[in-house]
Amino acid sequence: MRSNRAAVRAGVSMAAALPMLAGALALGIPAAHAATGPSRHTLAGTKPAWATPKADKGATSDASQVSARVYFAGRDAAGLAAYAKAVADPASASYGKYLTAEQTQARFGATKAQVAEVTSWLKSAGLKVTGTTQHYVSVTGDVAAAEKAFGTQLHNYAKGKKTYRAPAGSASVPAALNGAVLTVTGLDNAPHKATHSDTLPPPDAVFRNAGPFSSYYGSNTASTLPNAYGKKIPYAVQGYTGKQLRAAYGAGKRTGKGVRVAITDAYASPTIAYDAAKYAKNHGDAKYSTSQLRQVLPGTYTKTEECGAAGWYGEETLDVQAVHAVAPGASITYVGAASCYDDDLLDSLSKIVDGHLADIVSNSWGDIEANQTPDLAAAYDQVFQFGAVEGIGFYFSSGDNGDEVANTGTKQVDTPANSAWVTAVGGTSLAVGKGDKYQFETGWGTEKAALAADGKSWTGFPGAFTSGAGGGTSKTVAQPFYQKGVVPGALAKANGSTAMRTVPDIAAVADPNTGFKVGQTQTFPDGSQQYSEYRIGGTSLAAPVIAAVQALAQEARGGKAIGFANPSIYAKYGSKAYHDVTDTPTGSELAVARVDFANAFDASEGLLTSVRSLGKDSSLSAVKGYDDVTGVGSPAPGYVSSFSRH
């Protein structure tokens, strides 16, 4: 399952991401095909963990239909991973020696002979080939044919309150294919899709923020409201603009000119061009030049009702406007998926890589690690590795439910932010003061308490946890080389004796109480469609902000692509490139006051007043040094220019 982490606007969180193969090497090199017999090779990770003997409900009917994808391993899977690592590592002689998309495919992609052999084998098993790309062959057929092709029975298994089909054992392929197959997806039919856990306003539901506000952090003290942590607190900001965020993260005079940024989500907002232009004009951002904002969209959309297509419009709106606000000179390409399902999201990422549509890719969708299956993780990681070889960096939001305990009952990270091949972006609460001066950041974690009926106290202060930046230690992804010596052992080995991937890598503003103002066309109560602005947050904000900062950094190094950035990000750890974010930067606990419309539109049904504490991220803490809320920290004024020295 893939859950969209479209941004948080009302203090309600949104989700994120995807794991790699359990037991894989530190940078996700595909697991070797282990022989199950003299004529078959096993595809590791193709049996989902939830398909247990206890949950087994018996064999699936032979006549049931299966739709699957068989991904090619390419001519040198191990070489692809090794080169992707070397080209991204500043300490490597191959650093920055990127290949073109054509060179990458020629060196590491599947050969015509491999494609032909895999296709012939699938047809011989009785499966119908429905499509072929340079990455996979898609097939359909009945269960009997699928069992013949992949050497395993398909059974029905209980998963939660529902029953789904899954392999009874790991799938395998003929040894004669000589390792041409990376993995197969679709043998299990549990939902693998993006679902919203946010409350973004679709075009048919207007949302507005109530006041009073602060125009900058601390500008308007809530003098008539009760104290919090022994003092009067400021009202939440009305919503930062690009000018304030550029100042906070050291943009200087750079604009990202000449740099290409891509954004992926599902579907596409029908009003994005108008909304983006209107927002830029309202807030003094540079006017979009011809073709500076373009969309690459599928021919048709599917599963629009199931996926809640309109709910994705606000995510695209936030991502586009945040990138342009921070990097107004960068070109933006929005690549929309045909649905919220993994197959379609993978296709969107592959479009970017195959056509090298951008050097920087911002992604604000995902899921919890427990919901991912290793077969899909392998397919995603292969795309990320191809991108790294070409000089493309992927940025994924880390999630908005903190340690996920309140959301799922289990402490875990989100995915694909946990992939060793992407940059996981955590979240902060940002204080930008008078004159656009950076004051401080805390880790983003919110506890909320409502104003008592008599107006003299906060009920149950500091209140319950509502949302916060995702982070923690992966249970499936080994620690990558760039985290060694930086991530404390207590975090890396939080799940056992083996050091594992820890999330996030870097952070930026995410708290909706210190959030970003966006503008979107929405439907008002009278039925009219009008442009309206509101404050929003979540790591869905942090990801495009960091992507935009990376565009500034790429401009600073003469336009040379940064590519997969994690080795460079960690190489700067402890330097003046970062704000070292902690939960109590002023020496005491912090909070803001917030007033909301009860009906999310106007005061006709009353106002809701609450206190929102900062730096209260579930069991996660932002501390001195690396931490699992903000990673190495947030970009300081020296960050952008530091890339020019590579």
SS (H, E, C) 616-629: CCCCCCCCCCCECC
Which tens digit of pLDDT belongs to each residue from 488-505? 999 999 999 999 999 999
Domain membership flag for residue 132: no
596 near 612, Cβ under 8 Å?
A: no
pLDDT computed for residue 376 by the predictor:
92
Q: What are the two backbone dihedrals, phi and then psi, of residue 129, each rounded to the nearest 5 degrees?
A: -80, 120
Which tens digit of pLDDT belongs to each residue from 428-444? 999 999 999 999 999 99
- Count how many residues are written for the chain: 646
| pLDDT category of residue 28 using cuts at 50, 70 and 90 | very low
| Assigned token pair, 186 | 């679709």
Structural element, H or E, at residue 116: helix 112-124
**Which CATH number fits the domain that encloses residue 228?**
3.40.50.200
Mean pLDDT of all residues in 515-523:
94
Amino acid at 32: A
Q: Is the pLDDT of residue 14 over 70?
A: no
CA dist 66 and 50 (Å) reads 19
Q: How distant, in Å, are the alpha carbons of 97, 131, 243, 262 from that of 280?
A: 36, 41, 11, 19
Domain membership flag for residue 310: yes
Domain membership flag for residue 534: yes
Map residue 111 onto helix, strand or coil: coil
- The string of DSSP letters for 23-51 reads T--TT-PPPP--EEETTEEE-TT-S-TT-
The count of domains in the chain is: 1
291 DSSP 8-state letter: T
Mean per-residue pLDDT of the chain = 92
| Assigned token pair, 486 | 């930086």
Mean pLDDT of all residues in 187-198:
69
- Closest to 384 (Cα-Cα) out of 395, 373, 397, 374: 395
Domain membership flag for residue 503: yes
CA dist 488 and 503 (Å) reads 12
pLDDT computed for residue 209 by the predictor:
93
Q: How distant, in Å, are the alpha carbons of 13, 49, 108, 443, 583 from that of 620?
A: 16, 27, 40, 9, 10
Measured from the Cβ of residue 27, the count of other Cβ atoms closer than 10 Å reads 26
Residue span of the structural domain in which 289 resides: 2-20+197-645
Q: Which residues pair with 72 in a beta bridge?
A: 181
The DSSP bridge pattern shows strands 40-42 and 172-174 to be antiparallel
| pLDDT category of residue 38 using cuts at 50, 70 and 90 | low
Which tens digit of pLDDT belongs to each residue from 149-173? 999 999 999 998 999 999 999 999 9
Amino acid at 564: F
Mean pLDDT of all residues in 515-544:
94
pLDDT computed for residue 37 by the predictor:
53
Q: Considering the entire predicted model, what is its pTM?
A: 0.93
| pLDDT category of residue 644 using cuts at 50, 70 and 90 | confident
Map residue 72 onto helix, strand or coil: strand
* Nearest-5° Cα angle at 361, 625 to 531: 105
Q: What are the two backbone dihedrals, phi and then psi, of residue 457, each rounded to the nearest 5 degrees?
A: -155, 170
**Residue 298, C-beta contacts closer than 8 angstroms, at least 6 positions apart:** 336, 337, 338, 344, 347
Mean pLDDT of all residues in 32-56:
80
Question: 């974010």: which residue's tokens?
Answer: 581
Q: Is the pLDDT of residue 95 over 60?
A: yes
516 DSSP 8-state letter: E
Domain membership flag for residue 381: yes
SS (H, E, C) 341-358: EHHHHHHHHHHHHHHCCC
Quick one: the chain helix, strand, coil %, rounded to 5? Answer: 25, 30, 45
Question: 């202060």: which residue's tokens?
Answer: 461
Domain membership flag for residue 97: no
Which tens digit of pLDDT belongs to each residue from 61-88? 999 999 999 999 999 999 999 999 999 9
Structural element, H or E, at residue 637: helix 637-642
Q: Which of 91-105, 194-208, 371-385, 562-576 has the lowest mean pLDDT?
A: 194-208
Domain membership flag for residue 37: no
pLDDT computed for residue 372 by the predictor:
87
Amino acid at 138: S
7 DSSP 8-state letter: P
Which residue spans within 319-408 are E strands per DSSP?
331-337, 360-363, 365-368, 393-397
Q: How distant, in Å, are the alpha carbons of 142, 467, 591, 610, 615 from that of 448?
A: 52, 10, 10, 7, 12
How far out from the chain centre does Cα 319 lie?
12
**Residue 456, C-beta contacts closer than 8 angstroms, at least 6 positions apart:** 226
Which residue spans within 490-544 are E strands per DSSP?
500-503, 506-509, 516-523, 529-536
391 near 565, Cβ under 8 Å?
A: no
Mean pLDDT of all residues in 91-117:
97
Q: Provide long-range contacts, Cβ within 8 A and 24+ apart, for 457-466.
A: 457/226, 458/226, 458/228, 458/610, 458/611, 461/228, 461/611, 462/228, 462/591, 462/611, 462/613, 462/616, 463/610, 463/611, 463/613, 465/402, 465/406, 465/616, 465/617, 465/618, 466/11, 466/12, 466/13
| Assigned token pair, 565 | 């950035």
CA dist 37 and 129 (Å) reads 27
CA dist 544 and 261 (Å) reads 9
Q: Which residues pair with 266 in a beta bridge?
A: 337
329 near 555, Cβ under 8 Å?
A: yes
CA dist 545 and 242 (Å) reads 10
Amino acid at 233: I
Amino acid at 540: S
Domain membership flag for residue 292: yes
Question: 């991204």: which residue's tokens?
Answer: 88
Which tens digit of pLDDT belongs to each residue from 434-477? 999 999 999 999 999 999 999 999 999 999 999 999 999 999 99
Question: 């930026």: which residue's tokens?
Answer: 508
Amino acid at 573: Y
Mean pLDDT of all residues in 309-328:
94
